[in-house]
Structure 1
C-alpha cells in the first residue's frame, strides 16, 4: 500500500542536523518521569488529579523558540499526545485534552506559531500507545498489566476503534496547523503481549500523512519494514554510520535527553555537561546523523534552569562553530580520524572539520591528509594553525604504516577556551 507514495526530500533534514525535542504533558506535575503511570502502575482515576490541575500559567512559547534558535536548533518536535493519552491540542475526538483543563488554550497551535516565527521547522510527535483510551487493550507495558480484572476486559475492547481514533486525530494534526515538516510516531513493540502495525493499522496512518502532508518526513517506528524516512536510535550514540540490510547508508537521528528522563523530573540529577552534549552532536554528524535533544518543560510551562544553562552553552559554541555542523556529513573514508577526535566534512565548500575531544601535546597526526591541505585555522577565532607533512620514515617508525602518510597539525600548549575546539581545514 505504501509503495504508491514517493519518498519526501530529506535534504533539509540532513543539512540542519540539530533539533529540539519537547516532551510535555500531565506527567510534568508529578515530575518523576513521563512513564510514571507505567512505573507506578497508576490507575486512570488516581492519575486524574494531574489533569484537574494542569495549568501552565507561565507558558511562553516565544521564549521556548528563542532558546531553541539560540542553541542552534533548526527544527523541533513536540509531543502532541504521549503514552498517557493526554492531548495538547483541542481535539474533537476525546475529552481528555487541553480544552478541559484549567488552562483550556491550544498549546500546540501557540507553539507552532512561535517556532515558525523564528524560522524553525515543525515536527509532531504522536504516541501510538494510549493508556487512557477505553478501547486500547491491556498489554505488557500498560499500567494495568498486573491487574487481572482489567486484563479480563480485553475481549470487550476493540483495537480497530482505537486505530480509527488515531487516524481521526492525525487527520486533525495534518489539517489544522499548516505545513508540518516531520511526524514522529512512537512506538511499536510487536510480539507476545505487544503491539505492531496490524494493531495500529499503520499503512492507513502513513497514507493520511503522505496524502495531506506529502513533503513530511516520517520516522521508522510504525513497524512497517518499507516505511521510514529516517532511523531513530534512542539514548545511545551509534558506533558508526547506520546502514540498511543492503549496506546502503540511511538517514538517521539520535534522540537524546539532557538527563535520564524525557519529561520534567525534578529530582533527577544525572545531567550531561555542555561539553558532553557538544561532543554528542559532533559525534553524530561525523557519522552522518542528526541530534534531536530533548527538553521537558515544568508544569508551569518553563524550561528548567538546568536545561537553559545547557541550551545557552551549546548556543555559545554553535555561534562560533555552526559551519562544522550544518551541511556537514561524514568525512571521506580515506581521511583517517585522529585519536580522540571527530571529522565532519562539508562537500559543498570542500572543508574538513577536526573536532578535538581531548587536547594533545603540540601535534595531531592526521593520516591520509598529506598533499590535500591548503590552509588550516581554528574555527572559533579564525587564527591560523600550522601544519606540516611527516616523513614516511618517521611515520613508519611511529605507527608501522607508511601507506597513509599524515600531516602533523601543530596546536598550542594552551587549549582554546571553548567547549570543543574545532580546526577548519581547507582542502585542495
Structure 2
C-alpha cells in the first residue's frame, strides 16, 4: 500500500513541475503587463500605420536572432535596471492580490519595501541611492567588439544596446540633461564604441531608448508603483527618497515640465539618430513622461522626423503605440500562431532580470527550442545578455553563446532567411521554409528527459528530392503517400539540442 502511494506521488512530480512552471509564467506575464502600463506602452490600433517598405529595412523579417544588451549603472550592485528603485512592486506585481489590510500595514510602517525580495538580499535602494551609483560606473574593461564578435559567431544578425533606460543614465555624452557620460565619465562615448563594433562584424545596429526618464522627471515622478495607488486607497505619492511628497505641482508647472520633457526626448533621440551614421533600428520602450493628449506632444519627436533622420530605420511600437513590428516579451509570451506581419520576441538568457544580476543562465536547449518556435511563427528572437559593471560578459555567457554558435553553424539556414510554412503545407512539428528546403524541428528534450524515437509527418504538394538530418550523414527512413511524407528518426540519432530534418524539394 505504501509502495503504491509512493509511486503515485512520484508520478505526480512531473505534473507538479508543469503546474509550477505555468504559475511562474502567469506571474511573469502579469508583471510584464503592469510594467508596460507604468511606462505608458499602449497599442494604437487606429493609427493605420503600416511597416516601412524602405529597401534598407527589409532585413528585419528574416533576421532570425539578435543580441539584446541591457547595461547601466545598476550593474554596480548587480541589480536589475531601473525597477529596483520603484517602491511597492512587491504589492503591485503580486498575484493573487494582497488584501487591503496588509497593504495598509505596509503603508503605515513607512517601509515601502516590506515583503520585497530585496530585503533578503540587502539590495533595496531608493532612487537617490540608485542614481548615486553613476559616480562608481567606470567600466575599464569595456570592449563591445568581444560581445559582437561572439554574437556574430552565434548567428545573430543584429544587436540592440540600452543607450538610456528608465533610470535616465545615458551611455553617451548628451547635450540634453545632466545625467550621462558627459558628467560622470569625462565625455566617454560608450554608444560610439558599440556602433563601431557592430559595423566591424556586420551586425545591424540597434539602439534602445526609453521614453520615460525617471531621473529627468524626478520632481514630478511618483516612485510608488502606480498599480498600488490604482488598486488600493490612501496610497502616498513618493519622492526620490521614497518619502511622501508634501507638495502638489500646479497645472502650469506641469505644462512647463511637459514641454521641457518633449524637448529633452526629441533632443536625445535626434542625437542618437544623427551622430553615429546609419542606425538600423530604434527600440523604444515606453512613452515620454507627458500626459496623453497634452499639447506638448506636438513638440516631441515624430515618426516622420525619425524617418527623415534615418530613412531605412526599423521602429519599435512602444513609444507611439504603433511601429514596424509586433513585440512579445519573455518566454511566456512565445507566439503560438503564425504572425502575418513583422514580429519579435525579446527575452533573457537568465530568469533573474535583464541586467547583470549573477543569476544562472537558461540551458541552451531551452533557448534554441524557443528560437525555433519563434521562427516557425515568423518572429525574430532578441536574446538579452547583461554585462557586468566592468563592461564584460561572463565566461558562462560566452560559453552559452559558443554553444549556440555550434548549433547555428550546422542549422543556421533553418533560422536565418527562413519563414513559416505557407498555407499549402503543414507539419507535425515546428517548421520553416526557404525556396527549395523545408526544415522540420525536433525540439530538445525537457530537463531530465531522454530523446525518444520520433515519427514526423509533413504534407506538401511538392516532390521530395532528399531527406536528411542536418549534421548527420546517417540515412533516415521515410515514405511518401498521397502528398504526405512520414520520417522516422531513431533516438540514437538525436542529440541534447534540437535536431533538424532537412527536406529538399525538386
1:354 is matched with which residue?
A: 440
Give 1:48 deviation, angstroms: 3.5
Which residue, out of 215, 218, 234, partners 2:315?
218
Counterpart contact for 1:77–1:184, Cα < 8 Å: yes
Q: Does 1:229 align with 2:327?
A: no
How big is the shift at 1:67?
1.1
> Per the alignment, in what secondary structure is the counterpart of residue 233 of structure 1?
strand
For the pair 1:173 / 2:275, whether they are aligned, the reply is no
Q: Go from structure 1 to structure 2 and tell me whether the alpha carbon gap of 1:250 and 1:154 turns closer, same or farther (over 3 Å shift).
A: farther
**How far off is 1:197 after superposition?**
7.1
Alignment of 1:276-287 (within 5 A): 276-287=366-377
Residue 93 and residue 282 in structure 1: after superposition, are their counterparts in 2 closer, same or farther (change >3 A)? Answer: same
Q: Tell me which of 36, 44, 68 is aligned to 2:84.
A: 36
Match of 1:107?
Answer: 190
Q: How does 1:132-171 map to 2 (within 5 A)?
A: 132-134=215-217, 137-139=220-222, 141=225, 144=239, 147-149=243-245, 152-153=248-249, 155=251, 156-157=253-254, 158-171=257-270
Cα distance in 2 for partners of 1:305, 1:202 equals: 46
Aligned to 1:368: 459
Write the distance in 1 (CA, Å) between the matches of 2:404 and 2:135.
Answer: 36
- Report the secondary structure of 1:91's partner residue: coil
Distance in 1 (CA, whole Å) between partners of 2:402 and 2:297 is: 39
Q: Which of 426, 429, 441 is matched with 1:336 structurally? A: 426
Structure 2 residue 382 is matched with structure 1 residue 292: yes
Structure 2 match to 1:316: 406
Deviates most, 39-48 or 204-213: 39-48
Output one character per residue of 1:314-365: Cα deviation in whole Å (capped at 9) or x when no partner.
1110011100011111112343321xx310111xx32100110157754524
Q: Distance in 2 between matches of 1:121 and 1:19?
A: 9
Q: Give 1:25's aligned residue.
A: 72
Q: CA RMSD in A?
A: 2.9
C-alpha distance 279-60 of structure 1, shift in aligned 2 (>3 A): same
Counterparts of 1:414-425 in structure 2, within 5 Å, are: 414-417=492-495, 419-425=497-503
Q: Any idea what the Cα deviations from partners look like across 1:145-184, whole Å, max 9, x if unmatched?
A: 9743177247534122101100011111111000000011
Relative to its length, the structure with more helix (as a share) is: 2
Note if contact 1:355-1:423 (Cα within 8 Å) is conserved in structure 2.
yes
User: Aligned partners of 1:305 and 1:154: how far apart in 2?
Assistant: 52
Deviations 1:287-311 (A, max 9, x none): 0110000011000111123322211
Please list every run of 5 or more consecutive structure 1 residues that lacks an aligned counterpart in the other structure.
Answer: 243-248, 391-403
CA contact (8 A) 1:376 1:425 kept: yes
Q: Does the C-alpha gap of structure 1 residues 382 and 161 become closer, same or farther in structure 2, counting only changes over 3 Å?
A: farther
- Structure 1 match to 2:393: 303
Distance 1:277 1:110 in 2: 28
Q: Does 1:262 align with 2:357?
A: no
Q: Is the 1:2–1:203 contact (alpha carbons within 8 Å) kept by the matching residues of 2?
A: no
Point out where structure 2 has 5 or more consecutive residues left out of the alignment. 1-46, 88-112, 114-123, 227-237, 446-450
Question: Does the residue aligned with 1:110 lie in a helix, a strand or coil?
Answer: helix
Change (3 A) 1:33 1:5: closer
Per-residue deviation, 1:419 = 1.2
* C-alpha separation in 1, matches of 2:152 and 2:247: 46
CA deviation string 1:55-74 (max 9, x = no partner): 11111111111111111111
**For residue 398 of structure 1, what is the aligned residue in structure 2?**
none
Distance 2:460 2:299 in 1: 48
Residues 23-68 of structure 1, C-alpha deviations (whole Å, 9 max, x = no match):
1111111212112212568444322331110011111111111111
- The question of whether the paired residues in 2 share the 8 Å contact of 1:188 and 1:196 is answered with no
Distance 2:483 2:479 in 1: 11
Partner of 1:130, secondary structure, is coil
Deviation at 1:412, TM superposition (A): 3.0
Aligned to 1:125: 208
CA distance in 1, matches of 2:327, 2:454: 37
- Once the two structures are TM-superposed, the CA of residue 109 in structure 1 deviates from its matched residue by 0.2
Q: Mean alpha-carbon deviation: is it higher for 406-415 or for 162-171?
A: 406-415
Cα distance in 2 between the residues matched to 1:293 and 1:151: 43
Alignment length (residue pairs): 398
Say whether residues 1:76 and 2:123 are aligned partners.
no
Match for residue 178 of structure 2 among 95, 98, 103: 95
TM-score by length of 1: 0.84
Residue 302 of structure 2: SS of its match in structure 1? helix
- Structure 1 residue 203, shift from structure 2 partner: 7.0
Moved more, 127-136 or 309-318: 127-136
2:63 to 12, 16, 21: 16
**Structure 2 residue matching 1:166: 3-state secondary structure:** helix
- Alignment of 1:253 with 2:344, yes or no, is yes
Query: In the alignment, which of 476, 491, 502 is matched to residue 385 of structure 1?
Result: 476
CA contact (8 A) 1:188 1:197 kept: no
Q: Residues of 2 paired with 1:81 and 1:152: CA distance? A: 28
Change (3 A) 1:137 1:309: same
Q: Conserved in 1, the CA contact under 8 Å of 2:50 and 2:324?
A: no
TM-score relative to the length of structure 2: 0.72
